[in-house]
């Protein structure tokens, strides 16, 4: 259950309403969007990916649906 | 569950691990022991909402691994690092203290904060009584804190996981303008309404907006409320900070708070929460005294914490 940088970028750039079920992911994503917007460099994107993967991995039991929604983004 | 002072003291004497809310005077008289506490005289309990300085809301926490801590504004950023890797933390902050402001403005940036489960609340007073001070209590030392955060970190056994969630009866009105801010803070003069710089106090006055309704911030699909405290000399003061980069909208009005909570709590099914708290503004604006919400009982608070500081929200935590 790991995101790639490309999947993270799709999530960070997503303009609609994310269909996430876990509040911690909503909040973390909001913070990461702010960080990436202020410095949209590849290193920042990789750091965002690492942060999201740490969250998804630790709470895999309750974040499976959120992970599947993220990887379904076109 | 609401208990008398004597019943609560007896549970402390039995060395139970407890979360206690109640009036400042009673909390200060309780013996030291395995408990964390905070001041409020408002409770949501089975049988209905209650205002009392005579009872305490006592939550027994059936966990074997735990540690107490206190934090000031310099050590607060360590709070997530100190939490158990698998567990949760309950934190209580005195209303209008420096740690209240610091946590509210900075918590989302604390190292590893979203990798831990942090819930809690802002301790308050009886709004009708003079001479009270909001306190958080670290029961293991008996310290009543007016300028520090009291924390109880709890570790969970392997195979168990904590899940934090909220019940927000407010939803953003899709026809609302988008309100944004250029900086974060509890006090705001100007904002942007659909991109146009506007004096927020004037906008509220011109549109005759109901300041009992929160602004609903869009946190990547989750609605996070910020409530208006007061408006003075053209400045709008909030109970939690607004943030740059977050889009806020006006909410759909609520016809009946009790019905709204019954509906939302009912949708959750049988939620076996180990902790819950709800907002004083929901209690007051919704007329919840004497009304039973049907579950998720706990203290009525001056701000709720689910990682970040929230307003007009019910926060709960359960173990899966």
Checking if the pLDDT of A68 tops 90, the result is yes
Query: Three-state SS for B230?
Result: strand
pLDDT, tens digit, 9 for 90 and up, residues B64-110: 999 999 999 999 999 999 999 999 999 999 999 999 999 999 999 99
Q: Kindly state the helix (H) or strand (E) to which residue B44 belongs, with its residue range.
A: strand B42-45
Query: Parallel, antiparallel, or unpaired for β B87-94 and B149-155?
Result: antiparallel
pLDDT interval class at B294 (50, 70, 90): confident
Token pair recorded at residue B205: 């006055």
DSSP H or E segment with residue B169: none
Averaged pLDDT of chain B: 96
| H or E segment and range at residue B279 | strand B273-279
Once rounded to an integer, what is the mean pLDDT over residues B276-304?
A: 95
- If we measure between CA atoms, which residue out of A31, A19, A17 comes closest to residue A71? A19
Summarised one tens digit per residue, pLDDT across range B165-184 is: 999 999 999 999 999 999 99
The 10s digit of each residue's pLDDT in B105-159 is 999 999 999 999 999 999 999 999 999 999 999 999 999 999 999 999 999 999 9
pLDDT of residue B230: 97
Q: Nearest 5°: CA angle at B167, between B99 and B177?
A: 85
Residues B145, B149: Cα–Cα separation, whole Å: 7
For the stretch B198-209, pLDDT in tens is 999 999 999 999
Band the pLDDT of A55: cuts 50, 70, 90: very high
Residue appearing with tokens 């006055």: B205
Q: Considering only residues 32 to 91 of chain B, which have any Cβ-Cβ distance to chain A shorter than 8 Å?
A: none
Work out the pLDDT band at B190, boundaries 50, 70, 90. Answer: very high
Domain boundaries, chain B: 2-166+259-319, 179-249
The DSSP annotation for B172-227 comes to B-TTSPPEE-SS-EEEESEEEETTEEEEHHHHHHHTT--TTSPEEEEETTEEEEE-
Q: How confident is the model at residue B28 (pLDDT cuts 50, 70, 90)?
A: very high
- How many contacts does A have with B, using Cβ atoms within 8 A? 58
Rounded distance, CA B227 to CA B220, Å?
19
User: In the predicted model, is pLDDT for residue A4 greater than 90?
Assistant: yes
pLDDT tens-digit map of B213-234: 999 999 999 999 999 999 999 9
Separation between Cα atoms, residue B109 and residue B147, nearest integer Å: 21
The domain segmentation of chain A, as residue ranges, is: 5-11+20-71
What secondary structure letter does DSSP report for B115? G
Mean pLDDT, to the nearest integer, of B269-285? Answer: 93
Inter-residue contact A61 to B320 (CB < 8 Å) = yes
What is the layout of strands, in order, in the sheet containing B2-3?
Answer: B2-3, B56-60, B18-22, B35-39, B136-138, B143-145
Report the C-alpha gap between B139 and B68 in whole angstroms: 8
Q: What is the mean pLDDT of residues B26-43?
A: 98
Asked if the Cβ–Cβ distance from A27 to B307 is below 8 Å, we say yes
Q: C-alpha distances in angstroms, B104 versus A70, B85, B99, B149, B243? A: 29, 23, 8, 12, 10
Interface touch B222/A23, C-beta < 8 Å: yes
Phi, then psi, of A36 in degrees rounded to 5: -70, -35
In this predicted structure, what is the pLDDT of residue B269? Answer: 82
Please state, for a pLDDT cut of 90, what percent of chain B lies above it.
Answer: 97
- Residue A65: predicted pLDDT: 96
- Whether B141 and B32 have beta carbons less than 8 Å apart is answered as yes
**Among residues B51, B42, B59, B186, which one has the least CA distance to residue B123?**
B42
**A41 interface with B at CB cutoff 8 Å:** no
Per-residue confidence (pLDDT) for residue A36, from 0 to 100? 97
**Biggest alpha carbon–alpha carbon distance for chain B:** 61
In this predicted structure, the answer to whether residue A50 has a pLDDT above a threshold of 90 is: yes
Closest CA to B38 of B24, B17, B52: B24
In this complex, is the C-beta atom of B316 within 8 Å of any C-beta atom belonging to chain A?
A: no
CB nearest to B115's CB, from A26, A55, A62: A55
């Amino acid at each position: 259950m790991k995101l790639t940088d490309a999947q993270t970028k799709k999530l960070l750039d997503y303009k609609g309403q994310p269909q996430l079920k876990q509040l911690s992911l909503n909040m973390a994503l909001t913070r990461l969007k702010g960080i990436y917007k202020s410095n949209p460099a590849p290193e920042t994107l990789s750091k965002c990916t690492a942060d999201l993967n740490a969250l998804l991995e630790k709470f895999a039991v309750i974040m499976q649906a959120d992970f599947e929604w993220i990887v379904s983004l076109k | 569950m609401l208990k008398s002072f004597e019943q609560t003291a007896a549970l402390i004497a039995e060395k139970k691990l407890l979360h206690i809310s109640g009036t400042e005077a009673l909390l200060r008289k309780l013996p030291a022991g395995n408990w964390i506490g905070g001041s409020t005289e408002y409770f949501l309990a089975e049988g209905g909402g209650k205002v009392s300085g005579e009872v305490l809301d006592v939550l027994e926490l059936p966990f074997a691994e735990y540690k107490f801590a206190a934090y000031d504004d310099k050590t607060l950023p360590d709070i997530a690092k100190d939490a158990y890797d698998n567990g949760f933390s309950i934190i209580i902050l005195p209303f209008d203290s420096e740690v209240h402001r610091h946590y509210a403005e900075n918590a989302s940036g604390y190292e590893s904060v979203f990798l831990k489960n942090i819930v809690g609340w802002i301790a308050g007073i009886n709004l009708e009584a003079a001479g009270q001070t909001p306190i958080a209590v670290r029961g293991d030392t008996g310290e009543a804190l007016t300028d520090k955060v009291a924390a109880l970190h709890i570790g969970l056994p392997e195979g168990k996981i904590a899940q934090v969630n909220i019940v927000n009866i407010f939803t953003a009105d899709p026809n609302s303008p988008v309100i944004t801010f250029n900086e974060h803070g509890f006090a705001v003069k100007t904002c942007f309404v659909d991109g146009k710089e506007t004096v927020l106090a004037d906008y509220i006055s011109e549109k005759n907006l109901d300041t009992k309704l929160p602004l609903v911030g869009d946190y990547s699909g989750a609605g996070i409320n910020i409530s208006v405290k007061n408006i003075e000399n053209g400045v709008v003061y909030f109970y939690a900070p607004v943030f740059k980069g977050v889009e806020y909208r006006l909410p759909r009005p609520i016809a009946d708070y009790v019905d709204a909570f019954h509906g939302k709590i009912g949708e959750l099914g049988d939620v076996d929460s180990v902790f819950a708290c709800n907002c004083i503004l929901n209690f007051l604006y919704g007329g919840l005294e004497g009304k039973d919400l049907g579950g998720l009982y706990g203290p009525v608070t001056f701000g709720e914490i689910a990682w970040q500081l929230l307003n007009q929200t019910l926060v709960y935590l359960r173990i899966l």
